[in-house]
Structure 1
Amino acid sequence: MPKLAASLDIITLTDTPECAAQLLEAAKTLGFVYITMAGTEITPEAVDEMFKISKQFFASPESEKASCVISANNKGWSGMLSETLDPPNQKRGDFKQAMNFGEFTQSGEPQQPITPTLSPHLPTIAHFSTLCANVSRRLLRLFAQALSISASAGGAEYFTASHTSTNGPSGSILRLLYYPPISSGDYDPSSDIRAGAHSDYGSLTLLFQHDGASGLEILSPGGGWSPVPVVSEAICVNIGDLLSYWTAGLLRSTVHRVVAPGDQAGERYSMAYFCHPVDSTPLGGIPSEIVRKRGERGANIEDEEVLTAARHLKSRLAATYGWNS
Structure 2
Amino acid sequence: MSRTIPLLDLTEWRTADAARREGISAELDASLRETGLFLLGGHDVPPELTGRMRAQGRSFFSLPTEVKRQYAVARPYDNGWRGLGALDVGAVDGMSGAPDLHEAFHTGPTHRTGDHAFDTAYYPANKWPDELPAFEDTALEYTGHMTRVSHEVLGILAVTLGLSEDFFTSRSQRATWTQNVNWYPSLHTVGDVREGQMRVGPHTDFGTISLLDRQRGIGGLEVWNEREGWFAPPFVEGTLVVNLGDLMNLWTDGRWRSLRHRVLAPSHSAPDEELVSLVHFFETDPDTEVVPLPAPTGGGAGMDSVVAGEYILGKVGATVTVG
TM-score, structure 1 as length reference: 0.83
Q: Flag the 1:214–1:9 CA change in 2: closer, same or farther, 3 A.
A: farther
SS of alignment partner, residue 180 of structure 2: strand
Aligned-pair CA distance for 1:298: 2.1
**Displaced runs of 4 or more, over 6 A:** none
2:119 corresponds to 1:117: no
Q: Kindly indicate whether the alpha-carbon contact (under 8 Å) linking 2:43 and 2:149 is maintained by their aligned counterparts in 1.
A: yes
Q: Kindly indicate whether the alpha-carbon contact (under 8 Å) linking 2:313 and 2:319 is maintained by their aligned counterparts in 1.
A: no
2:145 corresponds to 1:142: no
TM-score, structure 2 as length reference: 0.84
C-alpha distance in 2 between matches for 1:40 and 1:59: 30
Aligned-pair CA distance for 1:196: 0.6
C-alpha distance in 2 between matches for 1:184 and 1:123: 30
Aligned-pair CA distance for 1:123: 1.6
User: Which aligned pairs between 1:177-192 and structure 2 lie closer than 5 A?
Assistant: 177-183=182-188, 186-192=191-197
2:55 corresponds to 1:41: no
2:105 corresponds to 1:102: no
Aligned-pair CA distance for 1:189: 4.8
Q: Kindly indicate whether the alpha-carbon contact (under 8 Å) linking 2:108 and 2:179 is maintained by their aligned counterparts in 1.
A: yes
User: Which aligned pairs between 1:59-208 and structure 2 lie closer than 5 A?
Assistant: 59-70=62-73, 71-87=75-91, 88-105=94-111, 111-149=125-163, 155-165=164-174, 170-183=175-188, 186-208=191-213
Partner of 1:235: 240
Aligned-pair CA distance for 1:120: 2.3
2:227 corresponds to 1:222: yes
Q: How many residues align?
A: 295
User: Which aligned pairs between 1:232-271 and structure 2 lie closer than 5 A?
Assistant: 232-260=237-265, 261-265=267-271, 266-271=273-278
Partner of 1:302: none
Aligned-pair CA distance for 1:247: 0.4
- What one-letter code is carried by the residue in structure 1 that aligns with 2:168? F
Aligned-pair CA distance for 1:116: 1.3
% of aligned pairs identical? Answer: 22
SS of alignment partner, residue 123 of structure 1: helix
- What one-letter code is carried by the residue in structure 1 that aligns with 2:191? D
2:314 corresponds to 1:315: yes
2:40 corresponds to 1:29: no
- What one-letter code is carried by the residue in structure 2 that aligns with 1:42? V
C-alpha distance in 1 between matches for 2:107 and 2:240: 19
- What one-letter code is carried by the residue in structure 1 that aligns with 2:210? T
Aligned-pair CA distance for 1:32: 1.3
Partner of 1:298: 303
Structure 1: which 5+ runs fail to align?
A: 150-154, 300-305
C-alpha distance in 1 between matches for 2:308 and 2:281: 13
Q: Flag the 1:35–1:183 CA change in 2: closer, same or farther, 3 A.
A: same
- What one-letter code is carried by the residue in structure 1 that aligns with 2:44? E
Partner of 1:12: 9
Aligned-pair CA distance for 1:212: 4.2
Q: Kindly indicate whether the alpha-carbon contact (under 8 Å) linking 2:255 and 2:300 is maintained by their aligned counterparts in 1.
A: no
- What one-letter code is carried by the residue in structure 1 that aligns with 2:56? I
C-alpha distance in 1 between matches for 2:223 and 2:296: 26
Q: Flag the 1:214–1:190 CA change in 2: closer, same or farther, 3 A.
A: closer
C-alpha distance in 2 between matches for 1:44 and 1:84: 31
- What one-letter code is carried by the residue in structure 1 that aligns with 2:82? S
Q: Kindly indicate whether the alpha-carbon contact (under 8 Å) linking 2:217 and 2:275 is maintained by their aligned counterparts in 1.
A: no
Aligned-pair CA distance for 1:89: 4.2
Q: Flag the 1:296–1:195 CA change in 2: closer, same or farther, 3 A.
A: closer
Aligned-pair CA distance for 1:191: 2.9
C-alpha distance in 2 between matches for 1:274 and 1:213: 24
Q: Kindly indicate whether the alpha-carbon contact (under 8 Å) linking 2:101 and 2:190 is maintained by their aligned counterparts in 1.
A: no
Q: Kindly indicate whether the alpha-carbon contact (under 8 Å) linking 2:208 and 2:284 is maintained by their aligned counterparts in 1.
A: yes
Q: Kindly indicate whether the alpha-carbon contact (under 8 Å) linking 2:39 and 2:242 is maintained by their aligned counterparts in 1.
A: yes
After superposition, the CA RMSD in angstroms is 2.4
Aligned-pair CA distance for 1:282: 0.3
Q: 1:191-212 CA deviation, whole Å, 9 max, x = no partner?
A: 3211110001100000001244
